[in-house]
Chain A
Amino acid sequence: MSDTHAQTVAFVRDTMLPAAAPPIRESGAVRWLRENLFSGPVNSILTVLGLLILWFLVATFWDWFAHSVWNASSLTECREIISATWGPDARGACFAVIRERWNQYLFGFYPQHLYWRPTMTFGLLMVALAPVLFSASLTIRRVVLAITTLVTLWAMVVLGAPAGWLVFAAIVLATGLILSERNIAWMLPFSIVYPLLGVWFLWGGTLWGPIFVLVGPALGWVAWRLLSRLSPLLATVAAIVVTLIFWLVLAGDAARDAEGLLSLSIESVRSDRFGGFLLSLTIGVAGIALSLPLGIVLALARQSDMFLIKSLSVVFIEFIRGVPLITLLFVASLLLNYFLPPGTTFDIILRVIIMVTLFAAAYMAEVIRGGLAALPKGQYEAADALGLDYWKAQRLIVLPQALKISIPGIVSTFIGMFKDTTLVTFVGLYDPLKSMSDAVRANVEWKGIYWEPFIFVGGIFFLICFGMSRYSMYLERRLQRDHR
């Protein structure tokens, strides 16, 4: 019976077919195109539309970019070069303005022989940030610090830094590199004194100023130690009062006297010399560094059970969030002058930093409050169950989780704030986007130039903001603790 069908089956295959290539529409680029760009009628239409727009943009602007002129001393010369090279009707970009004025877009009116100082300051900023930003990964730290060291030293040499300062920067950078290989926590003291050092590098003057600013909290700490046995509250109040009194009354004179005894001065640079990206970065970095802690405190205060603290925080946050930043800047630049005693010089950049910080802190507080609210109540109760006091519970249990949740929001606030630094144009400071471009255009040679500065400044802003955004994504990945 087994061969019943032997006559009806003509052929029985006894080997496997060799694997055939998949159909063309299911493999390679075609498949990718089909799945990603032409997966249905709607998507196909959108793809074609997108391609058309892209083609339109390139077709419209390509010749403008292709005819870029980088070597000219005025817009007229640019136009002559373009018409001589590409014909009388050709148009082209005149990036020569950037080549000619890049220093003002980067440094504003900072004295040219001191350009190395801001450069060094921002190079050392990376060293100060490394233990905070890249504490987990040795590889990233190594790459970041190595690149920073090379770029900073190279730039300082090019900008003509004195040998002594080159050695200083090299030592700090090398120490940073070595410490980052060993134990990154040892770099934290540098991160703590960096803000004062940075201020000194940028504005110059006497080093005794920053030193005596540091002495204030030190004295406060002594007061706290002496009184903390009696009453913790009294000790805290005394510490704050001692610090403030020292700063307001004694620090200035002490710095002057010390300067008389032993001069530790470098050439001072006034705030009105700041401009361009130096100004944006100074305000941005200071604002970011100050607004995060202030925002955390405000968020915690708003969650607090204590009525006074809670109301103050709510009023502050809602007031600041309800007022446009430009209004605050106008207050800082104009209104304050009416109320301060005449002759008081309260540095305009400092005023702007304070206002920008307050503004960002209010937003930050709400972002972090969102993180706090997202935590399950069980986490708070667990902290209580462990017997932790309020601060320990916040520090060890609540904030690490809440901040992790808030990272995208926090970084968004940072990016928004950094871009908002261009608003200082309204109070007569030279932001890179508008004021500096207007100042450049006010010269006869460059009058009539329009898009090129916007493209250049926008490009740099994009790099910095994109960098922050990528860092926040890295941080999110690194801190991911759940298993999805």
Chain B
Amino acid sequence: MKKSVFLGTVTAATLLAGMGMAQEGSTLAQVKERDELNCGVNTGLVGFAAPDASGNWTGFDIAYCRALAAAVLGDPNKIKFVPTTGQTRFTALSSGEVDVLARNSTWTYSRDTDLKLDFVGVNYYDGQGFMVNRDLGVTSAKELDGATICIQTGTTTELNLADYFRANNMAYTPVNIDSNAEGEQQYMAGACDAYTTDASGLAATRAAFADPENHIILPEIISKEPLGPAVRHGDSNWGDIARWTLNALVAAEEYGVTSRNIEELVRSSENPEVQRLLGTTDELGAMIGLDAEWARRAILANGNYGEIFAANIGEQTPIGLARGLNAQWTQGGLLYAPPFR
């Protein structure tokens, strides 16, 4: 009884605080007044977010933050990257410490509803895979019955693994690890037969091995991990801005708008969709509280979706990810930006 009273009080206090925040006014106004976008990012994940030797952030998620800052504030560098851990990321967003969270977070039902987040789209379709040593002689995840598996605790991958093995009526022994670096060490030291995490992470990990040819990534992808940026519940306009910035990057690739030819297309494009996207006709920007050239700046910041992908995690980089599901819908992928109209 006492406990429920206490919990009730805490809930009430949280709700009150949340309402206070909601009444505070639009995130867009706050960002503009601050003249800086607070973007929650990973403390460090190869290809997605990493500070270099002089402290400049680069990566796939970082590029989205920069595009958003460029769209809203006109400068991709008016941005403060707030590194968040797996434990602090959603609280940092809901407490208002960051305006947007671009931290390779999986869009799930409970996060979208119970945690009161709004995922504004998917910027990377990932899925959980397995990596094993070639000497193990395993070619399919179905053959992993009885294996010891290195698994990062407190992530969705842990739950997916349990689901998959139960569904296939197999047994496994988990070796719990705390971070990717530790997982690599355990796997290399032979503490586990297989290492499981998102396929993008596996590819990056394997690329860093001294002997990548001795390790294979099994073909089974056992889960859906749509990674995307998220904003708080309760400010739909800000959510729209975040969503359509992402859509603008995707649409730009679809229509062949790149950071190199954009100036030319602004002058000469005959495609009405491109004209609307780049703000030469209609006033789409005004509908979300921005100027007409917002999408132009977002694309100019790091290029369109394809350019961002190629520069950070694509096949020309050491990580070497193929587009796969992340190709445009016209290329057999899942990227499908709604029309700009």
Report the Cα distance A270→B42, complex, angstroms. Answer: 19
Flag if A439 contacts B96 (CB, 8 Å). no
Q: Which of B51, B179, B317 has the most CB of A within 10 A?
A: B51
Say if the beta carbon of B54 comes within 8 Å of chain A.
Answer: yes
Flag if A444 contacts B95 (CB, 8 Å). no
Q: A431-462: contact bitstring with B at CB < 8 Å (1 yes, 0 no)?
A: 00011011111111001101000000000000
Say if the beta carbon of A430 comes within 8 Å of chain B.
Answer: yes
Query: A447 touches which one: B80, B83, B84, B205 (CB < 8 A)?
Result: B205
Say if the beta carbon of B204 comes within 8 Å of chain A.
Answer: yes
The answer to whether A333 and B88 touch (CB under 8 A), given A109-B51, A341-B20, A342-B96, is yes
Closest CB-CB distance, A385 to chain B, in whole Å? 51
**Contacts of B9 on A, CB cut-off 8 Å?**
none
**Contacts of B208 on A, CB cut-off 8 Å?**
75, 444, 447-448
Report the Cα distance A438→B46, complex, angstroms. Answer: 10
Q: Report the interface size class on chain B.
A: 35 or more
The answer to whether A442 and B50 touch (CB under 8 A), given A428-B43, A435-B43, A448-B209, is yes
The answer to whether A443 and B52 touch (CB under 8 A), given A334-B88, A343-B30, A427-B88, is yes
Q: Which of A108, A337, A427, A448 has the most CB of B within 10 A?
A: A448
**Contacts of B91 on A, CB cut-off 8 Å?**
334, 337
Flag if A428 contacts B82 (CB, 8 Å). yes
**Contacts of A441 on B, CB cut-off 8 Å?**
44, 46, 180-181
Flag if A442 contacts B45 (CB, 8 Å). yes
Q: DSSP majority for the A interface?
A: helix
Say if the beta carbon of B163 comes within 8 Å of chain A.
Answer: no
**Contacts of A109 on B, CB cut-off 8 Å?**
51, 55
Say if the beta carbon of A425 comes within 8 Å of chain B.
Answer: yes
- Shortest Cβ distance from A108 into B: residue: B55
- Shortest Cβ distance from B14 into A: residue: A338
Say if the beta carbon of A391 comes within 8 Å of chain B.
Answer: no
Count of chain A residues with a beta carbon within 8 Å of a chain B beta carbon: 39
**Contacts of B17 on A, CB cut-off 8 Å?**
338-339
Say if the beta carbon of B268 comes within 8 Å of chain A.
Answer: no
Closest CB-CB distance, B278 to chain A, in whole Å? 33
**Contacts of A338 on B, CB cut-off 8 Å?**
13-14, 17-18, 95
Say if the beta carbon of B210 comes within 8 Å of chain A.
Answer: yes
- Shortest Cβ distance from A448 into B: residue: B208
Say if the beta carbon of A104 comes within 8 Å of chain B.
Answer: yes
**Contacts of B46 on A, CB cut-off 8 Å?**
441-444, 447
Flag if A334 contacts B95 (CB, 8 Å). yes
16 contacts between A and B (CB under 8 A): A104-B51, A104-B55, A333-B88, A338-B17, A339-B13, A343-B96, A426-B88, A427-B85, A435-B44, A439-B44, A439-B50, A444-B317, A444-B318, A447-B207, A447-B208, A450-B184
Given A343-B30, A426-B88, A428-B88: 19 more A-B contacts, CB < 8 Å: A272-B82, A334-B91, A334-B92, A337-B95, A338-B18, A339-B17, A342-B96, A428-B85, A430-B83, A435-B83, A439-B51, A442-B46, A442-B51, A442-B59, A443-B50, A443-B52, A444-B46, A444-B317, A450-B185
